């Protein structure tokens, strides 16, 4: 019934639309899948399929689709004041109220927020704040930021440079200077010759080695996600963060924790850094801040940096037209209020996270799964050709993208990063829907295994 619409939109899409992270030529054959509407944890496409969104859009629709309260918050604010800026000593109620709410929810040492329009802009802001902080401290030489290989921190030039994704660096470099990368704590992929704990300590040691190579007086900050999301839902060994914390303290290096994915309940705390007992100096945020209903991001600024920026800094020549946009801020504030009222964070920590962990770990027995891991409501499966040795499939088989496509066709969105399958569903998912997710994932694994063996 919907086919003519699908075909027409696909043709227009092919003719005019350059999508993010898409091989434009590959659209020629199949065309894009067209998502038309959504409710709860399900999206619907123009072919009439209902699909369980195991990725919450792009890790962001934390409250699920179709929340009227968020629509109303946006509409009311658009009527009242659709736009004003926060430049030059002006502001408006939604930006101020959202700033207050965020600082209430954040750890005690965080009492300021700088708004942006996205997570990428938040990380650009981080880079400028870090450099400005050390300059104001009279230590401009402390300017290098250490980040991690395979990390994703956004698509602006600074975001892509902080990120450690080689294919991004390879398309249109040079990157922003003064950014160095160290290995990621990806035990299954890179550390299985050691115990997870020994590997976690070795990854922290790699940071110290890098600091000593660069000279401790030259290193300004270390940036990482608590759990590396787009890199493959990489949950670090328990030994990693305590050891990293100690290294950074030893050399007086700022800690930046990118909370764009892990913030707002994903790991069962308001901020992922709280799960690991971290006290970041800066925390870029976005995505779940508004459950993705409108674009908004920001940087939560700890007292150490804020005090210097405010007391010693004068004007900070930085900001975006949509920094703290009124309608986006109103939606974000309502989103946080609903999350609090519905105890979403506690439910993830005490009920849904442990439930997902128990159901998800059953998939570790599947013959093409080498590891099934999860924390809160983020999880990953490592696809392998041989379970005993953990050997991967030949790259040319594209096992991960095959499994992802089979999932989608079977009514589940999972993401693939190489041969790692990822889930990050809306935080309002129910236990029954987790059962459905696991059942659909298992079916896709069965079918992937069948096709790869033929
Ligand atoms: N940081 C992390 C950890 C992310 O996952 C992303 C996006 O996926 C970003 C930053 C960039 O956010 P945005 O796409 O809103 O610019």
pLDDT tens profile 37-85: 999 999 999 999 999 999 999 999 999 999 999 999 999 999 999 999 9
Ligand 1: atom nearest CA of 154 is: 11
Count the alpha carbons within 13 Å of 205 in the hemisphere toward its beta carbon. Answer: 6
Cα-to-centroid distance, 413 and ligand 1 (Å): 19
In the prediction, which pLDDT does 224 show? 98
| Token digits of residue 18 | 């350059």
d(CA 337, CA 94): 13
Which of 119, 150, 165, 233 has the most ligand 1 atoms within 8 A of CB, as the residue to mutate? 119
In the prediction, which pLDDT does 453 show? 84
| Atom 13 in ligand 1: residue holding the nearest Cα | 119
Cα-to-centroid distance, 36 and ligand 1 (Å): 24
Grade residue 130 by pLDDT with cuts at 50, 70 and 90: very high
d(CA 114, CA 127): 13
Pairing of strands 282-285, 297-302: antiparallel
What is the average pLDDT across 147-166? Answer: 97
Q: How far is CA 149 from CA 167, 184, 224, 300, 417, in A?
A: 11, 6, 10, 24, 14
- Helix 68-80 to helix 326-341 angle, to the nearest 10 degrees? 150
Cα-to-centroid distance, 119 and ligand 1 (Å): 5
Does residue 396 have a pLDDT over 60?
yes
d(CA 162, CA 144): 11
Ligand 1: atom nearest CA of 230 is: 5
Q: What is the mean pLDDT of the chain?
A: 96
Ligand 1: atom nearest CA of 287 is: 15
Give 424-451 pLDDT, tens digit per residue.
999 999 999 999 999 999 999 999 999 9
Cα-to-centroid distance, 233 and ligand 1 (Å): 14
Measured from CB, residues less than 6 Å from any atom of ligand 1 are: 58, 118-120, 123, 152-154, 225, 229-230, 258, 260-261, 286, 297
pTM exceeds 0.90, yes or no: yes
d(CA 23, CA 134): 41
In the prediction, which pLDDT does 26 show? 79
Grade residue 3 by pLDDT with cuts at 50, 70 and 90: low
Which of 62, 260, 284, 291 has the most ligand 1 atoms within 8 A of CB, as the residue to mutate? 260
Output b/e per residue, 410-443; b: 16+ Cβ within 10 A.
bbbbbbbbbbbbbbbbbbbbeeebbebbbebbee
Ligand 1: atom nearest CA of 259 is: 3
d(CA 216, CA 254): 12
d(CA 370, CA 421): 11
Give 196-255 pLDDT, tens digit per residue.
999 999 999 999 999 999 999 999 999 999 999 999 999 999 999 999 999 999 999 999
Residue 376, C-beta contacts closer than 8 angstroms, at least 6 positions apart = 265, 266, 267, 268, 275, 348, 349, 353
In the prediction, which pLDDT does 172 show? 72
In the prediction, which pLDDT does 27 show? 76
d(CA 323, CA 246): 34
Give 359-386 pLDDT, tens digit per residue.
999 999 999 999 999 999 999 999 999 9
- With a pLDDT cut of 70, the percent of the chain lying above it is 99
Q: Which of 23, 28, 36, 35 has its CA nearest to residue 11?
A: 28
d(CA 448, CA 442): 10
Long-range Cβ contacts of 362-368 (<8 Å, 24+ apart): 362/438, 363/438, 363/441, 363/442, 363/445, 366/442, 366/445, 366/446, 366/449, 367/449, 368/393, 368/399, 368/445, 368/448, 368/449, 368/452
Give 266-277 pLDDT, tens digit per residue.
999 999 999 999
| Token digits of residue 83 | 């736009």
- Give one word for 233, left, alpha or beta, with left for phi > 0 and alpha for psi -120 to 50: left
| Ordered structural domains, the chain, with CATH | 33-66+343-453 (3.90.1150.10), 69-341 (3.40.640.10)
Residues 254, 221: contact at Cβ < 8 Å? Answer: yes
Max Cα-Cα span within the chain? 68
Residue 346, C-beta contacts closer than 8 angstroms, at least 6 positions apart = none
In the prediction, which pLDDT does 294 show? 98
Q: How far is CA 166 from CA 1, 147, 151, 181, 390, in A?
A: 43, 13, 10, 11, 24
Residue 82, C-beta contacts closer than 8 angstroms, at least 6 positions apart = 326, 327
Helix ranges (DSSP H) in 115-226: 119-136, 157-162, 166-169, 187-190, 196-214
What is the value of ipTM here, to two decimals?
Answer: 0.99
Which of 11-25, 58-72, 193-207, 322-336 is predicted with the least confidence, judged by mean pLDDT?
11-25
In the prediction, which pLDDT does 1 show? 47
Residue 259 DSSP SS3: coil
Residues pairing with 224 in the sheet = 257
Q: How far is CA 110 from CA 33, 301, 315, 383, in A?
A: 42, 6, 21, 40
Instruction: Return the H-helix or E-strand segment holding 39.
Output: strand 35-39
Cα-to-centroid distance, 5 and ligand 1 (Å): 32
């Amino acid at each position: 019934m919907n086919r003519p619409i699908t075909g027409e939109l696909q043709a227009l899409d092919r003719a005019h639309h350059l999508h993010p992270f898409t091989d434009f030529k590959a659209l020629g054959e199949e065309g894009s899948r067209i998502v038309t509407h959504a409710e709860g944890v399900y999206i619907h496409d123009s072919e009439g399929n209902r699909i369980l969104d195991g990725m919450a859009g792009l890790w962001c629709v934390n409250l699920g689709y179709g929340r009227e309260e968020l629509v109303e918050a946006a509409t009311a604010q658009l009527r009242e004041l659709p736009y004003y800026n926060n430049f030059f000593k002006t502001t408006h109620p939604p930006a101020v109220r959202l700033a207050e709410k965020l600082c209430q929810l954040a750890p005690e040492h965080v009492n300021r927020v700088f708004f942006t329009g996205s997570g990428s802009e938040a990380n650009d802001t981080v880079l400028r704040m870090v450099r400005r902080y050390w300059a104001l401290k009279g230590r401009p030489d402390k300017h290098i930021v250490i980040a991690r290989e395979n990390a994703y921190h956004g698509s602006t030039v600074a975001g892509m440079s902080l990120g450690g994704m080689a294919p991004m660096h390879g398309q249109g470099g040079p990157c922003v200077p003064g950014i160095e990368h160290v290995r990621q704590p990806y035990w299954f992929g890179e550390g299985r010759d050691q115990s997870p704990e020994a590997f976690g300590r070795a990854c922290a040691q790699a940071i110290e080695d890098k600091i000593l190579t660069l000279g401790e007086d030259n290193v300004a900050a270390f940036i990482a996600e608590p759990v590396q999301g787009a890199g493959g839902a990489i949950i670090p060994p328990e030994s990693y963060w305590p050891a990293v914390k100690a290294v950074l303290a030893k050399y007086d290096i700022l800690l930046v924790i990118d909370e764009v994915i892990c913030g707002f309940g994903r790991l069962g705390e308001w901020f992922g850094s709280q799960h690991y007992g971290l006290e970041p100096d800066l925390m870029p945020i976005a995505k779940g801040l508004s459950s993705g209903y409108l674009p908004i991001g920001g940087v939560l600024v700890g007292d150490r940096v804020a005090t210097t920026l405010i007391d010693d800094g004068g004007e900070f020549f930085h900001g975006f037209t949509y920094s703290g946009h009124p309608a986006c801020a109103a939606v974000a504030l309502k989103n946080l209020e609903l999350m609090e009222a519905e105890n979403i964070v506690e439910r993830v920590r005490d009920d849904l996270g442990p439930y997902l962990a128990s159901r998800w770990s059953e998939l570790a027995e599947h013959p093409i799964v080498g590891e099934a891991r999860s924390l809160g409501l983020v999880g990953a499966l490592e696809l392998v050709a041989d379970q005993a040795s953990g050997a991967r499939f030949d790259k040319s088989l594209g096992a991960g993208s095959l499994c992802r496509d089979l999932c989608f066709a079977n009514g589940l969105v999972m993401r693939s990063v190489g041969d790692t399958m990822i889930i990050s569903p809306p935080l309002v998912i129910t236990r029954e829907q987790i059962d459905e997710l696991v059942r659909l994932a298992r079916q896709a694994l069965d079918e992937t295994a069948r096709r790869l063996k033929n």
